[in-house]
Amino acid sequence: MSDILKNLLKEGTLAANIELTDCQLDKFEKFYEYLIEKNKVMNLTAITDEREVVYKHFVDSIALIPQIDLKGKRIIDVGTGAGFPGIPLAIVLDDAEFLLMDSLNKRINFLNEVKEICDLKNVSTIHARAEELGRNMEYREKFDVCVSRAVANMSTLLEYCVPFVSVGGVFVSYKSGDVTDEIKLSENAQRQLFCKIKNVIKFEIPNTDISRSFVVFEKKKELNKKYPRQGGKPKKNPL
């Protein structure tokens, strides 16, 4: 990692009230270099500029840490893609346990390579679709926290993600811009899936003009067995 990039990372994370150790900086360096290398042969990210990767991927992913207690928690990242927010969170939170889930096996292969390169012993991966894995009793309602930066409407995301959350746990959706209307439209999904808005944490990614929201839902009771619906129904016909 260039000195410029390392300084960007220090500056950006400090602005988000997070201080990285030298070991963590080294892991971010390895992740960045491998992400850019593999992106030449597979579609992982449209963002490749050093500054933009630092702020729009790394800082954005870990900005949740000062907002919610994630220490020691069991966390699933649904639709992790190239590993966001799961890999940056796992680099910083080495006492938490992460499962990164994606429906594309080539992304899972990439993440397994990242896990080895960055020596992330707190990370596991799984190739699966959310609406199928959410019905598997090994994973259903087994996580303290579910996170997702996946692009989908809130009702669909709730049906994908809430099944993984244990009662009393939370699902955190990373969202851009104003989320008022989207939250309103998800009220039926919240009722059907026994979850309720706990908080909407608004922030700007440091040193940018990008507005973000962490939309936090709390799981209130065990889910009805019919959810999540299979066959692509959460996306085609949101609750």
User: pLDDT tens for residues 168-199?
Assistant: 999 999 998 889 999 999 999 999 999 999 99
User: pLDDT tens for residues 124-180?
Assistant: 999 999 999 999 999 999 999 999 998 889 999 999 999 999 999 999 999 988 899
Amino acid in position 70: L
Q: What is the CA radius of gyration of the chain?
A: 17
Higher pLDDT, 51 or 123: 123
Is residue 114 scored above 60 in pLDDT? yes
Helices 105-117 and 22-39: angle between axes, nearest 10 degrees: 140
Is residue 47 scored above 90 in pLDDT? no
pLDDT band at 15 (very low <50, low <70, confident <90, very high): confident
pLDDT for the residue numbered 159:
97
pLDDT for the residue numbered 73:
98
pLDDT for the residue numbered 2:
64
3-state helix, strand, coil in the chain (%, to 5): 40, 20, 40
Query: Are the C-beta atoms of 214 and 148 separated by less than 8 Å?
Result: no
Q: Lowest-confidence range among 9-18, 30-39, 62-71, 189-198?
A: 9-18
Is residue 3 scored above 80 in pLDDT? no
Tell me what the pLDDT averaged over the chain comes to: 93
CB burial readout 141-169, b (16+ within 10 A) else e: bbbbbbbbbbebebbbbbbbbbbbbbeeb
Query: Are the C-beta atoms of 134 and 106 separated by less than 8 Å?
Result: no
